[in-house]
Structure 1
Amino acid sequence: MTTTHFLAFPPSSLDNGPEDSRSRDILIFFIPGNPGLIDYYEPFLSTLRELLNEAKSLEHIRFHIYGQNLAGFLDDDHEPFTSQRTPYNLHDQIQHTLAALKKLRVDSGSRKGLPYDEVLLIGHSVGSYIALELFHQLLRDPDLAPHLNLGSGILLFPTIHHISNSPSGKKLDLLRRTPILGDNAYRIAQAFLRLFPQGALRWIVSSVMGFPAHGAEVTTRWLKSRDGVWQALHMGMDEMQVIGEDKWDEELWEIAYEAETHHKVIPKFFFFFGKHDHWVANHYRDDFIQKRQKQVERTRLIVDEGNIPHAFCIRHSEVVAEKVSLWINQIYSPSWEREVDTTTTSSNN
């Protein structure tokens, strides 16, 4: 597999504070959902870059923003899929993301080539599952990447618990379990999509579905690619089998506490759930929140009171970037440990 397509937003002069003993280089590593195309998130990441540039309270932190495709969604990052060389599953994507993360180093300034002081993982949808699995693996076995200091996670519309019981998950899982149809769903989809020239398909996505220009362009390229739809369906069906009961349960949180004894950063997490997310079953979301309320010193659990959809990157990038910027300010604020909040809060924006 060749290098995966990525987007990078290096520090600007506004947040490239004086290089004294307080200066830190922090990598913000973004993991997309399915379909795993980082270009969907360009408006979100560029807005976040601008907001962090303006954050005077973080002037001694240089944030390096990086995000990349999941494997298999662009035709030029892999050999053509066949019945023997099938698309990548969720386990493959976790290993692919870990390999990319391990290679990254500070790419500018006097510390060029050195490891980052800390890494903040942001995951969307299944990207949140991948992020939590990376935390789990690296906290359990620090020797996997001793130079990586995973400090925090922001998990947006996380699909981390019984995804097959969500409204959309039930439909995809039914397709997966239907004999013959499940194994050939990608062929049916590809045959249907071949009926439309690229221009006509772009018009449908833009005018009928109402996608803005950037979303319509990314979607059209993906739908007309050789393997992109197959990759999305294959990975989605695998998610239905893999993302079930909270596999980390208390282990992830207990391992995190052990990090303190090894002079590692104890991770801090923000979970942002949609009010009505068709990929998240409300009762499993509420159960997860109830179980995590006792970790108030490390975890914030937020349920949106507005109507931001699961696929926020299509039309709601700016408002979600504002929220994430605020949470980053809170994570790296010295006052985090002194805050006395309720764990579950609401968002009206």
Structure 2
Amino acid sequence: MAQTLSGPTGTTSGRKVTGVRVPTLEYPSPNQEDNGRQRCLIVFVPGNPGLIGYYTPFLSTLRELLDEAESRKGSTKSFHLYGQNLLGFCDADHSPPFSSSTPPFTLEDQINHFSARLPELSTLSLASGAAVPFDHILVMGHSVGAYIAVEVFHRHHLLLAQPPSPSTAPSLNLKTGILLFPAISHIARSPNGRILDRLRASPFFNQWAHHIGRALVTPIPRVCLEWICQVVLRQSHHASVATAEFLASRDGIWQALHLGKDEMVSITENRWSEDLWEHRGPREGNEADKFFFYFGTGDRWVDEGSRDEFIAARREASGGGGVKVVMDEGGISHAFCIREYPLFSCKAVGEFG
């Protein structure tokens, strides 16, 4: 496993981003040099707060399970795991600091960033120095990260529908979307969403919430923040470290609140076309579903009415088409990455096809 800071240089919503440095986690396959295998890239998109550190045990456990799968006789694939922060949760990934003239990143900014990152991640550098493209790309998203993942597929789908031109970038082989506790429609109608949406409507909250949050945590040493998260909030060690990092950062609280408020107005009615959910071209007999949705029960960030409508629509469309939907029956929480990551890694690994 390698933990690095990486990312493209560019601008987002008029913000000057000079040498974007986004924290990442990367778990290469032990079989990546084997040219007889199909090479698959799994890109993980976190929820909000968008720190990849919350998912370290989940992804490392997933890596161990994938290693076991790759070692079995007859295995024909290798899997490369990659995950990164959402923008704005690391003070090093943006310049200048957030202000009224350079506000935090929006949901659209996050979607654009991941859409731009995928082509950059689509090749693997071998020990020989050769760069080979991944045969398949899978995008896994949690919560709002699931919405970002579907939007990445949607925009790629629209691009493929356009007539080819010399300026068109080479097509990515986006294979599968793995969507965990997905917040993909009417998030403001969910139990927690209704609370945040009411706060969003308050001028005082909009102007002062992030300042108050920073004022409350700034005097507290980071080691004390970790203790509070672990002992008082009963978070696991890795989650308390990630939460303390988030709270102690200069702009993290503002980014989380800003993105959360934007989610309330941006994640509403599903606007994706029916053919997005289907595989392009004929489907092979053993080919995995294009999208795998894992919904929780009692998820306070998901509106159950909108969820049930979505599930019914998918089941009515060609008998389910390229979509598989699973409802959790084991009481795994929306924030599975904090405590239930070993069990959930086992559930997720079977969907990579």
Report if the CA contact (8 A) 1:150-1:267 is conserved: no
Residue 157 of structure 2 is matched in structure 1 by 139
Is 1:60 paired with 2:76?
yes
In 1, the alpha carbon distance for the partners of 2:334 and 2:302 equals 9
Residue 232 of structure 2 is matched in structure 1 by 208
Cα deviation per residue 1:275-311 (whole Å; 9 max; x = unaligned)?
1101001111111111111353411101101211111
1:266/1:203 CA distance change after superposition, 3 Å: closer
Cα deviation per residue 1:68-115 (whole Å; 9 max; x = unaligned)?
111110011111111100100000001111111110111225694222
Aligned-pair CA distance for 1:248? 1.0
Residue 314 of structure 2 is matched in structure 1 by 292
SS in 2 for 1:47: helix
Please point out which of 262, 265, 271 is paired with 1:241: 265
**Aligned-partner residue type, residue 87 of structure 2:** A
Is 1:193 paired with 2:217?
yes
Q: What is the Cα-based RMSD across aligned positions, in Å? A: 2.1
Please point out which of 145, 148, 162 is paired with 1:127: 145
Aligned-pair CA distance for 1:183? 2.6
SS in 1 for 2:263: helix
Residue 255 of structure 2 is matched in structure 1 by 231
Q: How many residues align?
A: 320
Q: TM-score, normalised by structure 2?
A: 0.86
Which shifted more, 195-204 or 284-293?
Answer: 195-204
Report if the CA contact (8 A) 2:126-2:132 is conserved: no
Residue 273 of structure 1 is matched in structure 2 by 295
**Aligned-partner residue type, residue 118 of structure 1:** H
Aligned-pair CA distance for 1:320? 1.0
Please point out which of 138, 143, 148 is paired with 2:172: 148
Unaligned 5+ runs, structure 2: 1-16
- The alignment-based identity, stated in percent, is 44
In 2, the alpha carbon distance for the partners of 1:155 and 1:44 equals 15
Report if the CA contact (8 A) 1:198-1:224 is conserved: yes
Cα deviation per residue 1:153-191 (whole Å; 9 max; x = unaligned)?
110000001000000001111111112222321111111
1:267/1:301 CA distance change after superposition, 3 Å: closer
Aligned-pair CA distance for 1:203? 1.4
1:203/1:168 CA distance change after superposition, 3 Å: same
In 1, the alpha carbon distance for the partners of 2:54 and 2:201 equals 30
Q: TM-score, normalised by structure 1?
A: 0.86
Residue 116 of structure 2 is matched in structure 1 by 99
SS in 1 for 2:224: helix
Residue 304 of structure 2 is matched in structure 1 by 282
Report if the CA contact (8 A) 1:275-1:306 is conserved: no
Cα deviation per residue 1:2-21 (whole Å; 9 max; x = unaligned)?
221111100114xx58533x
Is 1:314 paired with 2:338?
yes
Report if the CA contact (8 A) 2:288-2:351 is conserved: no
Residue 42 of structure 1 is matched in structure 2 by 56
Report if the CA contact (8 A) 1:138-1:145 is conserved: no
In 1, the alpha carbon distance for the partners of 2:288 and 2:326 equals 20
1:267/1:134 CA distance change after superposition, 3 Å: farther
Please point out which of 41, 47, 69 is paired with 1:33: 47
Residue 19 of structure 1 is matched in structure 2 by 35
Please point out which of 81, 84, 87 is paired with 1:71: 87
Residue 339 of structure 1 is matched in structure 2 by none
Unaligned 5+ runs, structure 1: 333-349
Aligned-pair CA distance for 1:266? 9.4
In 2, the alpha carbon distance for the partners of 1:97 and 1:240 equals 20
**Aligned-partner residue type, residue 62 of structure 1:** S
